[in-house]
Amino acid sequence: MVDIEGFLIDLDGTVYLGDTPIDGADGFFRTLEQNETPYLLLTNNSTQTPLKIANRLKAMGIHVRPEHIYTSAMATGDFLRQEYGERRKAFVIGEEGLLESLLSIHWQLVENENEAEFVIVGLDRKLTYEKLERASLAVQQGAKFIACNTDSYLPTPYGFLPGSGAIVCAIETTTGVKPKVIGKPEPIIIEEALSRLGTPKEKTAIVGDRLETDIEAGKRAGIKTILVLTGAKKEEGEIKKYNPNYVFKDIGELWRDFLKQRKNLLF
């Protein structure tokens, strides 16, 4: 790991489980700050702003500044600005994080499907049939279909709940149109994050617990991959199939290895 100069770090299952921090997470971030090592916390979450995520982490005893947090909503805004410019019209299914990201690039949020140039979808826990109806009609009329992510479910202590992907699937099934997907495992979110991070691909690593999203995204984007064994369940055969560059028990073990590598560089 001595050649890694920057990190993209997943949140749920990697940094915390539910509302419980994983041992070593705060220490790892403190060490990255002290060593001036670039890093971003990379999440498919499109509902919350970086400030709200930072405050949630702080309540767990994990201290990260909002500027070190990068969401799929932010990546969506960055991608749309670069590809299509500012001041476009979008019909949006989503929550605060996505709305704020689009407003920051001066896009107009419209409610009439006939005005929409784009349909942009993230998780919306106040979803109505009317929203699905308008989004589907807009796509059929030629609006470009963009998805923050296609996560099929949200894990909770009570069981799985519908994720953003369930909403995307409803519109795709209705219209027959596949969306442009921004979040993991697609490489777009990695490429947008790298632009902010400022480190070269070959010297950047993604850290995550999910083989099919975190590790797959890293592979597709051409960066190094670090799997932690916390969070999502992983079979040995699956790990061999995805073949991450490094495997650690948890983020605490990664932290200790990082400290050891940096210490060796000094002597």
Mind telling me the catalytic residues?
Answer: 10, 12
User: Taking the CA atoms of the chain, what radius of gyration do you get in angstroms?
Assistant: 19
The answer to whether 76 touches 146, Cβ cutoff 8 Å, is yes
DSSP conformation class of 178: P
**What are the C-alpha distances in Å from 164 to residues 7, 20, 87?**
26, 24, 25
Question: What's the distance, Cα to Cα, between the start and end of the chain in Å?
Answer: 17
The answer to whether 143 touches 88, Cβ cutoff 8 Å, is no
Question: Measured at the alpha carbon of residue 164, what is the angle toward residues 159 and 165, in degrees to the nearest 5?
Answer: 90
The residue behind tokens 């969306």 is 179
The C-alpha atoms of residue 5 and residue 182 are separated, in whole angstroms, by 24
How would DSSP label each residue in 205-267?
Answer: EEEES-IIIIIHHHHHHT-EEEEESSSS---HHHHHHH--SEEESSHHHHHHHHHHHHHHHT-
* Beta-bridge mates of residue 148: none
Tell which residue, 193, 232, 204, 235, has the closest CA to residue 67.
193
